Amino acid sequence: MRVHVLDDWADTLRHLPGFARLSGHEVTIWTDRAPDEAALAERLAGAEALVLFRERTVITASLLDRLPGLRMISGRGAWPHVDVAACATRGVTFCSRKADDMPNHAAAELTWALVLAAMRDLPGQMAALRDGRWQAGVGRSLRGRTIGLYGGGRIARLVAGYAGAFGMPVIWWGSEGRRAELRAAGETVPDSRAAFFGGADVISLHLRLAPETRGAITAADLAAMRPGAVLVNTARAGLIAPGALLAGLEAGRPARAALDVFDVEPLTDPADPLLCHPRVIATPHIGFVTEDEFDLQFSEIYDQINAFAAGQPISVVA
């Protein structure tokens, strides 16, 4: 099959062991983003299969209409960026495995790195040292401080394990059903939403972005945070109500934010108000960006292509 791999911006995949699984196909790798849908369709004119790089490209009905030779799309994880109904009506098989049984260690590790960076102001200390200033400010220890985890899924549970190793008590929040599960498991769940946001020195978000969770974190939630508290978001920017985080930072709640996700990605504007805010630590959505995680995820994507080519598709969504 003629397979096109989209959005491999760092040109990483061809150098990983799992890429050999595509050896029986004619493969084209795109390492930059097409400027618009028309240019993307022109690139993919001969494609029979697409490999999606997470949510970097949105698959719309209009794009599919421009690709009459496309037979299948292979991805991994949730698919808010794919018009599944359009795939089905156009005879394009869409395969994606959510892998609910496999925690994303890379994302959890980055979350904890951002917790440490924010509490000790590592970027500020490093910049000061390079400027010839020794010990610029005083950080805060983690031991004895409370971390609040919003969401009780696989990544949040890994982060809770790290918190235990650092001596941090953990409190939890989530949907009503999730809170009931957590209480039944013996976890600490505050009596109210305000008590959760006001009860932690670090709040870390671990929700999937879905219609029911978009904008779930409100300005009132941020205003309820403790003085000096840190908000960490390695999940999705859309979980926070539009404008609420920037306004909250200006008001001092949260005192600092550590972000791996943004409303517009890739974010290349150095003047973006969140990116350049003095109390924001920012990374470019690298929670899953490790060689180990890439090889794990994309090996499954390649297996879906091979299964489809063999006439026995797996992980079929539509």
List the catalytic residues: 236, 265, 285
Contact 152, 182 (CB under 8 A): yes
- Distance of CA 198 to CAs 30, 142, 176, 178, 194, Å? 45, 17, 19, 20, 6
- The pair of structure tokens assigned to 311 is 């006439």
- The pair of structure tokens assigned to 167 is 């001596």
Cβ neighbourhood burial of 148 (10 Å; 0-12, 13-18, 19+): buried
Residue written as tokens 């028309």? 38
Q: Give CA–CA dist 97/270, Å, rounded.
A: 35
Euclidean distance between the first and the last CA atom of the chain, given in angstroms as a whole number = 19
Residues 6+ apart with CB under 8 A from 139: 119, 120, 121, 125
Specify the DSSP element, H or E, that contains 146: none
